[in-house]
Amino acid sequence: MAKATRAAFGETLTKLVEEGVDVVAVDADLAGSTTTGKFAEAYPDRMVDVGIAEQNMIGVAAGLSLAGRTAFTGSFAVFGTGRCWEQIRNTVCDSNLNVKVCPTHSGITVGPDGATHQMLEDIALMRVLPNMRVLVPADYAAACAAIRLAAATPGPFYVRLGRAVVPEVYDEGFTCELAFANVLREGADVAIMACGVEVAEALKAADLLAQDGISAEVVDVMSVKPLDEKTIVASAVKCGRVVTVEEHSVYGGMGSAVAELLSEKHPVPVTRIGMTTFGTSGEPDELLAYFGLDAAGIARRVRETLGK
């Protein structure tokens, strides 16, 4: 059954404790929405709700990690990375602490809450930080894997989770390693590199493009930092043209990371699809279509770039 990536958060933490992993959660009055509330029901002593105080949330998580815990932080992505960015930089990353920043409600698929609550700059903010690793899971199973990977790997992580239900891309029980990119569909004319909710849209776009005789490869760039350089470069070499898609600003996000890599390792034309403005209110599907981030919008841009 398709679920939101946020649903993986509280559930996976609960399973990790059952498996003997010393994880704790620190949230900022959004336990119901982020699903850390479910974790708190199972393990009340392992959940710390600091109230509406994201900077303190990061500091308290840092302190818990210094005492040996693996600390996961919640809140919404806009507050959980933006309001406390400097705390993440100077306390968590500089000290290389075992803090996993896992806020939910990233991107425009937050929906009706509108622009102030739709975080479009979080990948950029997190990926510039030394010691920080950035994972953007495509679906519920990938989110479970990302949280497990973060728990098992010492040091800071950012796992980008979303509010909206997203189609299944991976089977339950899926696992992955750091620097993971995955060719989900082989193609020859263009490589569509996507992350998060855009992976499912890119797969649908590839179907639409096939109807026009365009062979599109689809690559899930789940690990934005570190990048799976081998897989990404190989796909660029094979297709000769790359289109990136993310529900994030085109400035500094996954597309930028891919463009940076390819400009150094194997320059090919890269088209970045993403956001250049703030979002607005609407249902997730409506917003994806409105901003050209649904399958039809992606297919349209790919045809344009190919001159077809």
Partner 1 sequence: MSNTLGAQQARTDVEVALVANRLRHDIISMLAEAGSGHPGGSLSAADIMATLFFANVLSYNPDDPNDPDRDRFILCKGHAAPALYAVLAEIGYIPREELATLRKLGSRLQGHPDCHCAPGIEVSTGSLGQGLSIASGLALAFKQDAAHAGEDAPAKRVYALTGDGELQEGQNWEAFMFAAHRGLDNLCAVIDLNNLQIDGHVTDVCSLGDLCGKLKAFGWHVVEVNGHSIPELRAAFAEAAETTGAPTAVVAHTVKGKGVSFMEDACNWHGNAPSAEQAAQALAELDEAQAALAAACKEA
By CB under 8 A, name the binding residues for partner 1: 26, 45, 48, 50-51, 53, 55-56, 58-69, 71, 86-87, 90-91, 94-97
CB of 112 to partner 1, least distance (A): 29
Decide whether 96 or 276 has the Cβ nearer to partner 1. 96
User: Tokens 């990690």 correspond to what residue?
Assistant: 65
Decide whether 132 or 258 has the Cβ nearer to partner 1. 132
CB of 49 to partner 1, least distance (A): 10
Decide whether 48 or 216 has the Cβ nearer to partner 1. 48
Query: Which of the following is catalytic: 54, 198, 201, 217?
Result: 54
Mark whether 246 is an active-site residue: no
CB of 249 to partner 1, least distance (A): 26
Decide whether 24 or 181 has the Cβ nearer to partner 1. 24
CB of 22 to partner 1, least distance (A): 10
- Residues serving a catalytic function are 54
